Structure 1
Amino acid sequence: MAAEKKFYMTADGKAKLNEELEYLKTEKRKEVVERIKIARSFGDLSENSEYDSAKEEQAFVEGRISTLEKMIRNAVIIQDDETNTNTVAIGKAVKFIELPDGEEEEYTIVGSAEADPSQGKISNDSPMAQSLLGKSVGDQVSVQTPGGEMKVQILEVK
């Protein structure tokens, strides 16, 4: 059997996944079952859009529960490595400038479970993070993006 994918995350990120899983198992499941029960009372299931909708939601909730359980089971907690503050690693924030004359940007590299670009958190699986990981302050890095190649220079790692 092939090894399961590891999900890199902070301790806070794992706690949030556990909270979501608990909510889905204890509250959301019950809500969906109640919706199904009510929809069944409307009669003919073959033409019952309420029933179909509730069953679709049930499938989504069960799929999400399965996904969360797998992510939690295969979680690798990112340890704060204070020994090397100049090298880009998962869990660290990296500030860079797009060359030749772009503006400064800063992102924290996190596991895919916690990625939220609008909050400045990018997945370690993203092309940007893959290009930056292991590099140091002052390094110039080429990043392959959907729009073409982009060059950046690392200004700070924290």
Structure 2
Amino acid sequence: MPEKIKKRLEEEIKQLEYELTTELPAEIKKAVALGDLSENAEYHMAKQRQVFVNARLGQLKKRMGELAMVNLTNIPHDKVGFGATVTVFDESKNEEIVYKLVTSEESDVSQGLISTTSPIGRAILGKKVGDTTTVVTPNGKRDLEILKLVTIHDAAE
């Protein structure tokens, strides 16, 4: 797992755990002291936030576990996979575009960083140089031809 992603996820987990164990109990205690809980908006908001924070913590911890299990040796050397930098020819735009396949936490389309779970990422995964694929995007169908591929293994050398 890339260290910056791990650090960012750990920081968010730490912040949410602090909120869950320190800030929210204090808010709930303060709201309870105000009296009738059935009409106490502060109490209901704090309880809703508590449910949200618990759910988000669960998501983040699950994602940390998933990312920790990524085995780089299983990523193909000759096909598009995680970490690959791919140059494609977009026939609908009549231009070459360079994409790097990254995790969903790192994705930034304006920088050419696309998630392996995005429509384009899914469409080009497993493809080789010379392959053509059709991807359905919110802007319509696009035909992409793989022109150049630099895998995560090539980049490490």
TM-score range, shorter chain: 0.7 to 0.9
Deviates more, 1:135-144 or 1:109-118: 109-118
Q: CA deviation at 1:46?
A: 0.5
Which structure has more relative contact order (CA 8 Å, sep 6+)? It is: 1
Q: Determine the C-alpha separation between the residues in 2 that align with 1:37 and 1:56.
A: 15
Normalized per residue, the structure richer in helix is: 2
Aligned to 1:28: 19
Post-superposition offset of 1:80:
8.5
Q: Secondary structure at the match of 1:77?
A: coil
Q: Provide structure 2 residue ranges, at least 5 long, that are not aligned to the other structure.
A: 151-157
Q: Does 1:77 align with 2:70?
A: yes
Q: C-alpha separation between the residues in 2 aligned to 1:150 and 1:70?
A: 33
Amino acid at match of 1:77: V
Contact 1:142–1:152 (Cα < 8 Å) also in 2 = yes
- Residue 135 of structure 1 aligns to a residue whose secondary structure is coil
Q: TM-score, normalised by structure 2?
A: 0.74
- Is 1:142 aligned to 2:137, yes or no? no
1:8-44 CA-to-partner distances (Å, cap 9, x unmatched) read x53432332222212221x211111111111112211
Q: 1:89 aligns with which of 62, 81, 88?
A: 81
Residues 1:82 and 1:49: Cα distance change in structure 2 (over 3 Å): closer
1:51 Cα deviation after fit:
0.8
TM-score by length of 1: 0.74
Deviation at 1:157, TM superposition (A): 3.3
Instruction: Among all aligned residue pairs of Structure 1 and Structure 2, give the percentage whose two residues are the same amino acid.
Output: 37
Separation of aligned partners in 1, 2:111 and 2:32: 42
Contact 2:86 2:100 in 1 (8 A): yes
2:103 matched residue in structure 1 = 111
The verdict on how the C-alpha distance between 1:140 and 1:41 changes in structure 2, with shifts beyond 3 A counting, is same
CA gap 1:157/1:77 in 2 versus in 1, 3 angstroms = same
* Counterpart secondary structure, 1:152: strand
Name the counterpart of 1:3: none
8 A Cα contact 2:88 2:146, kept in partner: yes
Compute the RMSD of aligned alpha carbons: 2.8
